[in-house]
Amino acid sequence: MDAELPDRVPVVAPHVPDAAREFQGLRAGIVSRVIANAVDVAVVVLIAFSGYIGLAAGAFLLDPQGFTFPPLHPNRMVLVCGALLFLYFWASWAMTGRTVGNRLMGLRVVSFRGRLMRWSGAFLRALFCVALPIGLFWAVVSRQNRSIQDVVLRSSVIYDWGRTQDRPAREPAQH
């Protein structure tokens, strides 16, 4: 059991499904985290594609006769998507502890105290997650379902269907 998180059971919101209540406040497993991250990557790719379409529309409005779609450079697109993903993670984790994928899967990223991460901690976690995404899979072998990012930065990804950000998370029961 990780001594960093207080062992308090959070108050459960009435809209939490009965089947999910026993997981409320526990650290999330790899499947939930991978699905949430896949959704987040899809959101960022959609944002990048929308930006590209916006640039193309602007180029068309400026010169309809000579319009051609701007070239897509794969390396540049990877850098743009990486930068957008970093900003998306950083702002989401610092403001609400959730991304779109986290909300969909009922997850929240919290500090070692089980609270909303500070901007500096969210910055480091976002940078670490974008630079080393494979670190997520450490959660497969971790007894505490923690990624490399979580271990180094003392953060956790917990199941949270409506918990307020100031209530601490709880540890999984030892069976």
Is 115 within a domain? yes
| Amino acid in the structure at residue 120 | S
Q: How confident is the model at residue 130 (pLDDT cuts 50, 70, 90)?
A: very high
Q: Examine residue 22 and state whether it is found in any structural domain, yes or no.
A: yes
28 falls within a domain: yes
Backbone angles phi, psi at 109, to 5 degrees: -95, 130
Asked whether residue 51 is domain-assigned, the answer is no
Tell me the C-alpha distance between 131 and 150, whole Å.
14
2 within some domain: no
Range of the structural domain that residue 133 is part of: 18-38+74-159
* pLDDT, tens only, 24-39: 888 888 999 999 999 9
At 82 the pLDDT is 95
Average pLDDT of span 71-83: 92
Residue 97 counted as domain residue? yes
Mean pLDDT of the chain: 84
Asked whether residue 90 is assigned to any structural domain, the reply reads yes
Helices 30-62 + 74-95 axis angle, to 10: 120
Instruction: Give domain status of residue 131, yes or no.
Output: yes
Q: How many domains, the chain? A: 1
